[in-house]
Structure 1
Amino acid sequence: MDAEQLTRGQLESEFSALARTMCFSKSTIASFAKEATRGQLVAVCDLIRDENATREENKKARLLRQARLPSLKSLSDFDFGEASMPDGHTVDDMRSLGFIESAQDFVFYGGCGRGKTHLSIAPGALATERGCKVRYFETSSLVLMLKAAAADDRLEAALKDIAKADLPIVDEYGCIPIDIEGARLLYQVMSATCEARSMIVTTNIEFGKWGTVLGDAHLATATVDRIMHRGRLVEFGGQSRRFEEALMMGRSEG
């Protein structure tokens, strides 16, 4: 049927179906640009801009879902007063996410409730906004996932999936002791990350005691060596923020 004989609704349906099939060739683009009216060019340019904007927003949403962050946090919401940044590195350096491009690591060390998890999630969320692949793991959940993958002969695939991330985040390292099998699997993740991509690790265990968490002093030394080689340490002081804001202590929700 000739296009002139189609109703508006039929034309819209045909346009939608055809648009989904197209990836325009250079010759088609050149021909249309030469023959189209000014109004047609304006309309098509607007269409393509809208499509590109939609694709970008969809990509950001997809990256954020894949990151599996437990919540959304922002660097602008974080009080750096009790966080001791490493020499030569400022908060603006962290906001720039330059450490991801240069494949450098961060270790956030301090007591429970000091904001380590917040400060690990915030750059992760920002990184997805800028098109980076992020994966968040609680250490215990990561170890369990790796053990299950190894038992099902899927370990290589699981490690490859983690390796796709520009920024793996390993939270709460040291909160629960890890057996030797889990320690070796976790070491594989950290070793593969070394110099290949950035990683953020949060912990309340000082480096000298990582052997008590991993159950193997030599494995702990090798892990620390890889993280320290291209990593920065941020130390968290002060009181527990959770305790200060606890409703059980009579604090108001507001």
Structure 2
Amino acid sequence: MRLAAGNTTESSTLFAVYVGLKCLQAISTALVFILYIYVVMTLWRKQVYHSNLIVLLMALPVSSLIAVFMTLVLDIVGAFDLSHSPLVDIIEFAVKSGMFGGVLNLPNFILERLAATLLVNKYEQCNNRFPFFSLALVMVQIGLTCLLTYLNTIGLISNLDGVIVFMIVCAVAIVLFSVLPLISRRAYQIHLRRGSAISVRYQTAENLRVARLLNKLMVLYVCFFITENLYYYVVVFVLHYDDVIVQEILLSVFTTLMVAEVRYPL
């Protein structure tokens, strides 16, 4: 990132590792962006899931992609010795927003699944032609992300507070997504016994299929997210290095974890 600030190492080996990690980070980020565009186009064209779920799946990696891309931009700004430019504050705000936005993906999926499971008829009728519900969730997510990032920037929410909230949300999400297949199966069986309309039975069967997908996808996403945030907090706020290169190498590992997180659901 900003090697101009602080002391740098005299070790050519460490510098070579740093450069190698940055090159790997840039290449992997470019490949993930290309893959993301391809997957989004495929999902929207084939419509293999309900449009509400497709929108949330497309939005899932966006927060991490923003954080990864802005980290690269920060590296470029640092390379040109522009560390004190007002542009840096904007970029760092975007990086933080990517981290806050990532955890807010979880409530979106939870609310969408609750609506699809408990309000089957209304869910289908209100979102048959256009994914109003999921788009509303994404808009709220963007607003909350900007608000939380701003509160963190001005110091009303400390970094430790943010990590604690992240952990609580992740713990709740793991429990809910673990039991989601059981809840969806139960709802499907109830509608079968009642002889509900074909559209309702189809939606509950679809809910069961989606529950199995999210049970694996979201639990692993949460594991990635917990690992990333604990790692970042320890590296940035617990460990203190006089050598900027060492810290930048550790932060490059963090960015690589985010790229891996984006790559997995794709």
TM-score (norm 2): 0.24
More helix by share: 2
Structure with the greater relative contact order (CA < 8 A, sep ≥ 6): 1 or 2? Answer: 2
More strand by share: 1
TM-score (norm 1): 0.25
User: Could you say which structure has the larger radius of gyration?
Assistant: 1
